Structure 1
Amino acid sequence: MADEDLATKAPESDAQETSGIAGDSKPDQGAASMGEHCTTDRPTPAGDQPTGEIAKLNDVEVYIAKPADYPHSPSKLLLLLTGGTGIHSTNNQLQADKYAGEGFLVVMPDQFAGDPATSISTTQTVPAEQNPSIIEQVKLGVASVAKSFTIDMWLARHTPEKVLPILLKVIAAIKEEFADAVAHGGGIYGVGYCFGARYVLLLGSEVHADVVAGQRSAESEAEEGMVKKDPQIKVGAIAHGTQISAADLAGCKVPLSIVAVEQDSLFPDDIREAGVKKLKENGVEVEEKVYPAVPHGFAVLCDYEDGTIKEKQKEAFGQLLGWLKGN
């Protein structure tokens, strides 16, 4: 498919063409694509500043956060995959720093090749009022549609056939550059938020990069012995994923922890429940916790006025951290 075709297709049609990953992995057609928390940052906690560094691995820009005593003390290697805000988001960098503070050597790659969701214009020019007039309601509706279309265009530029090769290049470099950390953990650990959650699942599956073009099903390709590969990560952890299908979950072969939001249209209950059921049937170790009364994206480090959300954010981090440390 030509790049110009990708750029003009809605993500749901694009997802149909890339369904050869871990089986029929089309995102749920009824689910929304991405929300505000996936594409914009909330306020950064006051006084916090990132301590890691921007570097390049295999020509891919990455943010690297190291424990204070590395390399004198051994560390596990954690691949952190962000939501649409990308590696230059202060909040995402602070999130990586938090894991580094817990003893992980964190590599956070630029999945979007310099084109994060924050680079797109989603400004709503019409102010929301308590009782807008009919004309204002129409204007708000037009702005909402335009915003949704812009996000869809961005999603169409960042599909598995574009993102997975970037991640595989970074993983190849990690195995050379940080071989000590990979060896210490017995492999690479992966954690993904929002957009990045799906790619943790794909990297934890046996069939991925070679079939992302979607020309044939993963099953038919694998039967020919062309694309079967071991998972690229040892352990996975995800929070409030987007664009995830039940097949994406079912295809995961590595121990998995799931942070989910109650009644989340971006990661619907029926999709999650069907995928988790299949994981258990396949004998994959899995834990899940559904958090009520929190917004999608709540687990990404940021400042909320609501103290309850702040507590749930800490709880979610503890869940993911405990899983990564315990496996």
Structure 2
Amino acid sequence: MSTAECCSNPPRLSSSSGDGIIENIGGLNTYVTNSNSNPNSNRAIILISDVFGYEAPNLRKLADKVAASGFLVLLPDFLYGDYLKLDPDFDRQAWLKKHTTDQGCEDAKTLITALRSRGVTSIGAAGFCWGGVVVVKLAKSADYIQAGVVLHPGPLTDNDINEVKIPISILGAEIDHTCPPEQARHFEKILAAKSEIESFVKIYPGVSHGWSVRYDVEDDSAVKSAEESHSDMLNWFIKHIK
């Protein structure tokens, strides 16, 4: 996995950010938030973070925003508190070997089983870079999630995309060496040939990898671009998670 872009602009961590609570679900510490108007929703959205983890303030704000539309939203700590660091002495390759997307997928399946046992009947998942790869792995079966969104994808192959079996949306950045626009458009063609599922691919102009969650809240343009991606993600789930 390339870390050049995943490892830029790390979010400020704060365990107290957001309106939700931390709960252990399926063995994972999970930020859980829902709407006061629909606290017992049987529709859930799982947000899967990038390599900087689930404590990112912007990510928790996004979870709260999605919950306000009537979903139960879960933001699990798939990295078990061990987040990638920018320290030059930090061994990134060892970290990536420890925190594989395959393991993230297995942990997500355990979480989904726990949600089903609580009466959740329809589940969507959105992932950011590392988390987006986990979403695509889940999307290779219709047994786990009913719709997926991948924002500024991590490394994916044609085979990964070709094996997707559920409605999926890919939201990419114009400036992205991990998943350049031409690669995202290539994935779009693969998905378009799969008439049995609905797909949507969009490239956001003038933004870089990570723009949807690692943006400067003081930068109006950055906030506007991030919020556009949030709206597109939410609309996808409103359409497909019933």
TM over 0.5, yes or no? yes
Shift of 1:245: 2.0
Q: Report the secondary structure of 1:293's partner residue.
A: strand
| 1:89 and 2:56 correspond | yes
| 1:110 and 2:108 correspond | no
Alignment equivalent of 1:63, drawn from 24, 31, 48:
31
Shift of 1:38: 6.4
Q: 1:102 to 1:257 in 2, by over 3 A?
A: same
- Per the alignment, residue 11 of structure 2 pairs with 41
Q: Report the secondary structure of 1:309's partner residue.
A: helix
Alignment equivalent of 1:167, drawn from 86, 102, 108:
108
Query: Contact 1:55/1:61 (CA < 8 Å) preserved in 2?
Result: yes
TM-score normalised by length of structure 2 = 0.88
TM-score normalised by length of structure 1 = 0.66
Question: What code does the residue aligned with 1:66 have?
Answer: N
Higher relative contact order (CA 8 A, sep 6+): 1
Q: Which moved more, 1:161-170 or 1:98-107?
A: 161-170
| 1:153 and 2:123 correspond | no
Shift of 1:164: 2.0
- Per the alignment, residue 190 of structure 2 pairs with 278
- Per the alignment, residue 19 of structure 1 pairs with none
- Per the alignment, residue 181 of structure 2 pairs with 269
Structure 2: distance between partners of 1:152 and 1:324: 34
Question: 1:66-103 CA deviation, whole Å, 9 max, x = no partner?
Answer: 1112336x452111111112122222222211111221
- Per the alignment, residue 66 of structure 2 pairs with 99
Query: Contact 1:38/1:84 (CA < 8 Å) preserved in 2?
Result: no
Question: 1:12-58 CA deviation, whole Å, 9 max, x = no partner?
Answer: xxxxxxxxxxxxxxxxxxxx3352556721699xxx94110111112
5+ unaligned residues in a row in structure 1: which ranges? 1-10, 12-31, 124-142, 207-229
Structure 2: distance between partners of 1:43 and 1:307: 21
| 1:194 and 2:106 correspond | no
- Per the alignment, residue 46 of structure 2 pairs with 79
Residue correspondence of structure 1 range 228-243 to structure 2 within 5 A: 230-243=142-155
Structure 2: distance between partners of 1:309 and 1:59: 35
Question: What code does the residue aligned with 1:277 have?
Answer: K
Q: Report the secondary structure of 2:50's partner residue.
A: coil
Query: Contact 1:259/1:288 (CA < 8 Å) preserved in 2?
Result: yes
Question: What code does the residue aligned with 1:233 have?
Answer: I
Identity %: 25
Query: Contact 1:250/1:276 (CA < 8 Å) preserved in 2?
Result: no
Q: Report the secondary structure of 1:262's partner residue.
A: strand
Query: Contact 2:170/2:184 (CA < 8 Å) preserved in 1?
Result: no
Structure 1: distance between partners of 2:176 and 2:22: 33
Greater share of helix: 1
5+ unaligned residues in a row in structure 2: which ranges? none
Structure 1: distance between partners of 2:226 and 2:81: 28
For this pair of structures, how many residues does the alignment match? 238
- Per the alignment, residue 140 of structure 1 pairs with none
Q: CA RMSD in A?
A: 2.4
Greater share of strand: 2
